Amino acid sequence: MDNNSIYKFNVETLNGEEISLSAYKNKVLLVVNTASQCGFTPQLKDLANLKDQFKDADFEILAFPSNDFGRQEPLEGEAIAFFCVDAGANYPVFDKIRVRGPYAHPLYQFFANKKDNGKLKSVPRWNFHKFLVDRAGHVTDFYYPFTKPTSSKIRKKIERLLQASI
């Protein structure tokens, strides 16, 4: 397995099932830390719109709720699922995790360590920090929370990654 790939990580679904990110092999991914009580929470709908724009492509959005910033994700488990469905989520939403600091989930430790991921060092500064991952599972870019998921900057990069061969 490629050590610079996110496919080596397991994550937990909202119902407690552990899955490998290798389930998303050969797809372009946008990985986002979310929160239900944040000023950026309307981006949940923007993420759904982005998913719709690429519904016929090998593209997926992976949402990871986190309470790391301003305690803006007070919900747990099923409550997160209901909230996200009400917000229009048409993409996988995983169990709540830590995304920064010494207790960060291994996936987010990987994103924060250029030596590990081979590309960049980026630690979320707030909710809705986005990481773009290519079909081989390599992180290629990141976007700060104020960059809307439907921005041309993100859409064009997704299109380029979708057109690239593996």
Q: Spot the catalytic one: 38, 47, 107, 139.
A: 38
Check: CB of residue 130 under 8 Å from CB of residue 28. no
Residues 6+ apart with CB under 8 A from 165: none
- Residue 158 per-residue DSSP state: H
| Cα–Cα dist 38/35, whole Å | 6
- Residue 41 per-residue DSSP state: T
| Cα–Cα dist 74/56, whole Å | 34
Check: CB of residue 44 under 8 Å from CB of residue 84. yes
Residue 26: Cβ within 10 Å count: 10
Three-class DSSP category at 160: helix
Structure tokens at 31: 């990985």
Q: Which residues pair with 28 in a beta bridge?
A: 59
Q: Is 38 a catalytic residue?
A: yes
Q: Point out the residues that are catalytic.
A: 38
